[in-house]
Structure 1
């Protein structure tokens, strides 16, 4: 058994106490102690025998606590955004609808080039191979397609495709 694994049981009461002070909930504190032990064991190679174990574990525990806190806040924010669509998102939806409509009005070859390179993120050479044309042809179709989108979209601004 390694030095860390042998020393961990003696640190458990201090870890529990520290976790309860952070979480203020026994169940959450127990989960935090488990997360701390898992992280410590995963980082076992980083711990040096001459380093004080308890401060090292408390640091791991603190980082785990704040990471979980940030994750819960982010999840709550995303859940709130999904539950109530905000008016600020409506222009994005309208802009996307306008972009899709403009793409449908483009000639098929320009539409295909924009979708492959801009929508799918393919390299020009790969898109050219898929279409069976030279890379310069794809570049020309992209240029003409972007120009067509600029003409059709409100404000004359094309998407970053």
Structure 2
């Protein structure tokens, strides 16, 4: 019976949704920090959860998003809308396609993180999270901050 249930979960794709759903739940419950590296961010569900965490007046969550400048100009990117909403978005030339999210003391990584909804994710160990935090700090120090004014100007250039 367990084999049949596992097979049905695998066929419907629900087996891969669990870490993604855990990530969304963690974003809704975040209390201290949300750190994201996503070369590209076009997942509207994830972006909305990030925006809500940043703008929630009952929580003081430190949110930082790091992206690659090329991808913020892509038509499906939601980076400019996050910057307009007041989410700190940083741009740096980073040679990686894997996305990483750290929420409080939990972490997830995945190849398509930020590009697709319900993407397969892998939970991170505490050691991986610590290495990511050091890497993230180093990349933010030389990154360009995408301001609300700059995001607005970019949107004006691409939309008539």
Answer whether TM exceeds 0.5 for this pair: no
More strand by share: 2
More helix by share: 1
Q: Bin the TM-score by the shorter chain.
A: under 0.3
Higher relative contact order (CA 8 A, sep 6+): 2
